[in-house]
């Protein structure tokens, strides 16, 4: 009924995902491949969470 007032649970995760990718890109440009790999892995984990939430939401609809 009041779905317009519900907050989007993936909004914060999307911002975090984008930030991790940006940090990873900067690390790669600076030649820090280890940090790049770690940040990319963290971004992938966030993306998995986003997909899981969207999957749950689609089942509820």
Spans of all domains in the chain = 10-60
List pLDDT tens digits, range 15-43.
999 999 999 999 999 999 999 999 999 99
Using only the alpha carbons of the chain, give its radius of gyration.
Answer: 15
Percent of the chain predicted with pLDDT > 70:
90
Q: What is the pLDDT of residue 35?
A: 97
**Could you give the C-alpha distances from 42 to 11, 12, 52, 58, 61, in angstroms and in order?**
17, 15, 15, 25, 29
pTM, two decimal places: 0.83
Q: What is the pLDDT of residue 6?
A: 72
Q: What is the pLDDT of residue 5?
A: 66
Question: Is pLDDT at 13 greater than 80 in this prediction?
Answer: yes
């Amino acid at each position: 009924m009041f779905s317009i007032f519900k907050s989007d649970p993936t909004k914060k995760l999307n911002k975090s995902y984008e930030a991790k990718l940006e940090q990873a890109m900067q690390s790669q440009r600076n030649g820090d491949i280890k940090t790049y790999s770690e940040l990319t892995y963290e971004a992938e984990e966030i993306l998995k969470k986003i997909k899981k939430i969207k999957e749950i939401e689609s089942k509820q609809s």
